[in-house]
Amino acid sequence: MKITKLICAPGKTGFYFDDQKAIKQGAKNDGAFYEGTPVTPGFTSVRQAGEAISVIFVLENGAFAHGDCAAVQYSGAGGRDPLFLAENFIPIIEKHIAPLYVGKDITTFREMADLVDKGINPETGKIYHTAIRYGVTQACLDAVAKSKGKLMAQVIAEEYGTKISKNIIPIFSQSGDDRYLNADKMIMKAADVLPHALFNHVETKVGLKGEKIKEYIQWLRDRILKLRPSDSYNPVIHIDVYGTLGIVFDNDFETIANYVGELAEIAKPFHLRVEGPVDMGEKTAQIDALRIIRQKMEEKNIAAEIVADEWCNTLQDVIDFSVHKAGHMAQIKTPDLGGINNSIEAVLYCKEHEMGAYLGGTCNETNRSAEICAHIAMATSPVQYLAKPGMGVDEGYMIVYNEMSRILVVSR
C-alpha cells in the first residue's frame, strides 16, 4: 500500500509555551498569564498559546493516518529546539517531508521513521526540528498499523521484540499550579503517581529553605490517607522542582541529598520521587550532579529517587545518564527525543540498564500524541506513563487511561 498525499492542519495543544528562563528570573503569575518580558528567543510573551501541526497521510485505500507535531511547554530551554510555531514549520513539512513519503510504499515503522528522524533539512544542513520528527513518525506508525489491520502497539511489539503489557501502565498525573484541588482529583481517580506540583519558583513555591515543599508534602500525605478510595491505594508521590533545590542549597549535593531524605520521611508511608533537583546549565555537569546526589542518597540509605529531566533530551542523553547512573529514573520526554522510534528505544535501554524508565512528555501536547504514546507504553512497559496533555488532571488522565484500556482488551 502506498501513501498518496500528505496534508498539514494547524492545531492547538492542551497547554501553553512558557519561557522557563523568564519564570526563573522572576516573572510573576497574572491569572493564566505571566507578567514580565520574555528572554528566550522566539517568545513574544512569557506565556503564549501552544501550537501543533497534524500531519495526515492519505493512504492508497482512502484511509487516513495521522500524528501530531508538538513541542514541550518549556521550548528553547535546557538545550531544546526553538519555539515551534505552525506557520513557520508547515512550509518545511510540505516542501521537504512530503517528498519522502508521497508515492512511496508503506514498509516497516522503523524504516519509515528513519526517513524523517535521520533526514537532513537541505536548507539548514541540520536534522529536522524535534516536533516535526515527533509528529511525522506518529503518522508513520499509524500508517503501518492501518496497512496491516493491527494496533499500533502490536506493530511496535512485533518490530522491537516486546510483549504488550497485560496491565495498564501506572499513570503519573500532573497538577500544574493548582496543586491542592487537582491533587484531590488525582486521589479520587486513584492515580498511580501524583502530583508533579510544578515547584518552579523559589520564593513563591519552594521556600527560601525548601520549607514550602515540606509543608505541601505533609498536606498531600495526610490528604491521601484521609481520602484514598481504599487502604490498598498507595500512590507514589512524584514532585518536579525544576532545579530549584540547586538554587536553595547553592548546589551543595550532600545537603540536597539530606533534604530529599527529609522529604521522604515526611512522605511516608508513600514512596517519593524528586524530579530535576538541580539544573547545572549543561549536560556534563548535570550528569555529574545527579550521579553524586544518587551516590550520597544510597550511602545514606535514603529511600527515595531522583529523576533526570533537564539536559536529558535525546536518546543519546538518556543512554549517557543511564550509563553514569545519573539519577534513579530518566524522564523520556517524548517530544524532545524527536521521532517516537527514539522514545521506544529509550524505554528499552533504560530497562536493560537498571534505570527507571518514565515515559513522559509535556502538558503541551495533543490528544493524538498522548494516544499514540499510550501504544508505546503498552508495548514497552515503562515504570510510569504521563497523563497528558493539559494540567486539568481529568482530561489527560482520561485520554491515556482509556487508550491503554482499549489496547488491553483488544490485544488479549
What SS3 class is residue 16?
strand
Contact yes or no for 367/402 (Cβ under 8 A)? no
CA atoms of 332 and 347, how far apart (whole Å) = 7
**DSSP H or E stretch at residue 3:** strand 3-18
Instruction: Kindly state the cell numbers that stand for 378.
Output: 503498552
Rounded to 5 degrees, what are φ and ψ at 270?
-95, 145
Return the DSSP state at 17. E
What SS3 class is residue 160?
helix
- Closest CA relative to residue 357, chosen from 315, 335, 385: 385
Instruction: Kindly state the cell numbers that stand for 52.
Output: 501543533
Active-site position among 24, 333, 351, 388: 333
CA atoms of 75 and 336, how far apart (whole Å) = 9
CA atoms of 129 and 112, how far apart (whole Å) = 17
Question: For this structure, is 333 an active site residue?
Answer: yes
Pairing assessment for the beta strands 329-332 and 304-308 based on DSSP bridges: parallel
CA atoms of 114 and 340, how far apart (whole Å) = 10
- Closest CA relative to residue 254, chosen from 278, 275, 231: 278
What SS3 class is residue 191?
coil
Q: Looking up cell 503498552, which residue turns up?
A: 378
Alpha carbon distances (Å) from 98 to 19, 47, 58, 113, 284: 31, 32, 11, 13, 37
- Dihedral angle at the C-alpha atoms of 164, 118, 350, 396, nearest 10 degrees? -60
Instruction: Kindly state the cell numbers that stand for 228.
Output: 484514598
- Dihedral angle at the C-alpha atoms of 209, 221, 394, 69, nearest 10 degrees? 40
- Closest CA relative to residue 370, chosen from 113, 239, 174, 82: 174
What residues act catalytically?
A: 333
